[in-house]
Amino acid sequence: GEDPETRKGKRIVPRAGISLRPILAGGRLPERPLFFEHEGNRAIRLGKWKLVWTNFDKRWELYDIKVDRSEINDL
């Protein structure tokens, strides 16, 4: 069900996260991007694609991680 919006007259802050109910029912979760940041380096991953900002080179790199897991070939 849905979360209530108030309890005892006070507004309830919505929970962060997603329901795992689809997985428990044998289905899949909708795909969504993953965001990373570490020591000035940044990345976004969605499906087979990973976009990386390298703080050392100050540029973006794009990888097809389905065929290039080691992120060797910047597309």
Written as tens digits, the pLDDT of the chain (75 aa) is 566 788 888 888 877 788 888 899 999 888 889 999 999 999 999 999 999 999 889 999 999 999 999 999 999
CA distances from 71 to 22, 27, 50, 68 (A): 32, 30, 9, 5
pLDDT given for residue 5 in this prediction: 81
Residues with Cβ within 8 Å of 44's Cβ and at least 6 positions away in sequence, in order, are 33, 34, 35, 36, 50, 51
pTM of the predicted protein model? 0.65
pLDDT given for residue 12 in this prediction: 86
Q: What is the DSSP letter of 23?
A: H
